[in-house]
Structure 1
Amino acid sequence: MNFLERITINPEICHGKPCIRGMRWPVEVVLDLLSSDMTKEEILTDHPELEKEDLIASINFAKLLLSGRSIQELAG
């Protein structure tokens, strides 16, 4: 799965924060949900607009940022 395709950055959506598929779901909010006591299944049930791949993409995006590599480096 190319998780970068699921993470979008648009200055007109959520002040340009990385979001899930152009929706108003910032990656940081998805990461907050994942770090809570909720299971992935509970998150997906409570928020049907999200998909399992969105959760994985959020984790991979955070890993990318921590690695020091850039999105442009991976996309190019």
Structure 2
Amino acid sequence: MQTDILKRITINPEVCHGKPTIRNTRHMVESILEYLAGGDSTEDILNEFPELEKDDILACLAFAAKTVQFKDIEFPAA
């Protein structure tokens, strides 16, 4: 299932400078994740962008989860 949902995320050098987007549109994964991190619900996002689907939001979350599995994240020293 997760592999199928990740097919909704596209990377095209001609769209949004090659940043990951939803279904080759100008809706960047990064932006959707920022909405979610800011407290917006899936329903809030879908109301704001009616062309998106619930699976698009889930694909953004799945993409983020896969991304952090393969990269080290550095945090500045406190």
Q: TM-score range by the shorter chain?
A: 0.7 to 0.9
Structural RMSD (CA): 1.3
Number of the residue aligned with 1:59: 61
Q: Which runs of 5+ in 2 are unaligned?
A: 72-78
Larger Rg: 2
Residue type matched to 2:30 in 1?
E
Query: Which residue, out of 28, 34, 38, partners 1:32?
Result: 34
Q: Deviations over 1:52-72 (max 9, x none)?
A: 001100000010011118xxx
Is the Cα contact below 8 Å between 1:13 and 1:24 reproduced in 2?
yes
Alignment identity in percent?
Answer: 48
3-state secondary structure, aligned to 1:64: helix
Number of the residue aligned with 2:49: 47
Give the alignment's TM-score, normalised by structure 1.
0.84
Q: Which runs of 5+ in 1 are unaligned?
A: 70-76
